[in-house]
Amino acid sequence: MASVRNYKVAILDKQRQEIAAQQQAAFDAESEKNIQESRTCLSKLTEDARTKSLAGKFSPFGSNTVPMEMLANTGKPNAKEKAALSYVVAEWEKCIDIQAEPRKKYLPPEANNIISSYRLDLRSGFADLYSGKSSYGDTARMRAKLDIEFKQKIDTLSAKIQAQEFADAKQRQEAEAQKRYAEAQSQQQREAEKQRQAEARRMLDMQEAQARAQLEQNRQLQRNVDFLQGMQMQQMFRPPPPPQPVIIQQAPSYPTTCKSTRFGSTVTTNCF
């Protein structure tokens, strides 16, 4: 029962894996297209003349290294820079939103939540700069901190997903191993059943052959009995043979010669 259940789990996992692979391939293709569009959009934004007043002070794009001058800038945007800041942030979000639909469709909910939270924190920081609550340097430090935290969260989620994928792969391997073991056992049982059936057929054939031989022997014996009984019946109902004449042969007669001899008053006669 457990083997059947594990087999079904393995089938479902394999189906989910195939679906995930198809989704990943679709995401990669669509994401690559959208990334190129997003990069083109951001490239045009950096070349836009309306953003020149923010050069060296503010960048919505983020970077692994922030110039010292930008971190140390205590200045706050004037009216012209505020207009440029409002335009840059709005256009930046449009460029980023090009990838919004693929992210929602293919990324796990946790990843989308991290991205949404990150963007919200960025907008809040940009709003503090726009309102004059924060300086350019404060905004740069805020952005650098959010970038680090965002990367850490994404790395943690990626490690979690990889660990889960590893566990799922291990479970699939175990299920596959159990499936192969169950199939091997089933094959052994089938082979054993075949051998049992073959032995049963052999014994049955032997018994049938013995039965046929015994039947033939009984028939032959019955034929012999019937023959003897038939002979006896013939003897019983056959008339007795006529008596044979008895021929008595007598010895041939030969001529007899007699001779008499007298001794006194006694006469003795001998015939031969």
Beta strand residue intervals within 161-244, DSSP E? none
State the pLDDT at residue 230.
Answer: 72
Banded pLDDT at 122 (limits 50, 70, 90): very high
Query: Which residue ranges make up each domain of the chain?
Result: 2-172
Q: Which of 90, 87, 58 is nearest to 75 (CA)?
A: 58
In tens, the pLDDT along 195-220 reads 899 998 898 888 888 888 888 887 88
Compute the distance between CA of residue 135 and CA of residue 211 in angstroms, rounded to an integer: 110
State the pLDDT at residue 102.
Answer: 84
What does the block give as tokens for 98? 């090009």
pLDDT at 271 over 90: no
- Position with higher pLDDT, 175 vs 122: 122
Single pTM value for the model: 0.57
Rounded mean pLDDT, 39-66 = 85
Q: Which of 51, 117, 49 is nearest to 88 (CA)?
A: 51
Q: Determine what percent of the chain is predicted with pLDDT higher than 90.
A: 34
